[in-house]
Amino acid sequence: GGPGWRLPGRVLELGFSYLELRELRSCALVCKLWHRVLHGDENSEVWRSLAARCLAEEALRTDILCNVPTYKGKVRAFHHAFSTNDCSRNVYIKKNGFTLHRNPIAQSTDGARTKIGFSEGRHAWEVWWEGPLGTVAVIGIATKRAAMQCQGYVALLGSDDQSWGWNLVDNNLLHNGEVNGSFPQCNNAPKYQIGERIRVILDMEDKTLAFERGYEFLGVAFRGLPKVCLYPAVSAVYGNTEVTLVYLGKPLDG
């Protein structure tokens, strides 16, 4: 290894702070020192400057990312946010990079998937509605093949065998066009309140999808998920409603 291998960590950090994520991934494979400099401190100058470059100021300034404590986590959340190319034509992703806005289009149900899906590991993300729910407001997961737009006001997420959803309006679980029971399974479960953050937990090892409200575990909603790539997704019907999704990483309990 040339002199670059033995540079002090601070100097390496400064150099790394000019690189983009793809280049940083390559650098992390070079040697243990480079890997340690990049991944040892999730609030290092490297991640701080990358966050400043790729995240909208609004996302860093408001409480959208308040449950993502590190700059590396914030960068990761951005790369796992809603895709601007993989959503209904009747929605757009706001400048903050994390919030979907549904345009006021009559007789249409509109959804969006995230940029990255999962076929292994355990993953958690938060979803919350910032406008009226309307008659159907569904959160859950979908394969790449699930439709993200359809006619009428329907529970799009869960309408076929390619998606699984929880309708926050009537607390029904939906898959393959059928209601899979109500959720959470308790008498008089409280209805969703606007702005409430729901945590979604996907476990590709156990093949389960579970939900939390606040810090209360609501239980497993779906079991026996297929071993395919599954994407966080939502579907909405109400004009000008807004939904925010933030990827959190691995669930805290493991």
The token pair that represents 147 in the structure block: 């439709």
Report d(CA 178, CA 100) in Å as an integer. 26
How much of the chain, in percent, has pLDDT values that exceed 70?
85
CATH 2.60.120.920 correct for 85-249: yes
pLDDT-wise least confident of 80-94, 161-175, 186-200? 186-200
pLDDT at 169 over 90: yes
- Give the three-state DSSP class for 163: strand
Across the chain, where does the E strand assignment appear?
82-87, 91-93, 99-102, 108-114, 122-129, 137-142, 149-151, 163-167, 172-175, 178-182, 198-203, 208-213, 216-222, 231-236, 242-249
* Alpha carbons 152 and 146: distance in angstroms, whole number: 17
pTM above 0.85, yes or no: yes
CA atoms within 13 A of residue 140's CA, in its CB half-sphere: 35
pLDDT digits (tens, 9 = 90+) for 34-59: 566 666 678 888 888 889 988 999 99
Give residue limits of the domains in the chain. 9-76, 85-249
Torsion of CA 21, 23, 25, 30, to 10 degrees: -150
The closest of 43, 47, 35, 45 to 10, measured between CA atoms, is 45
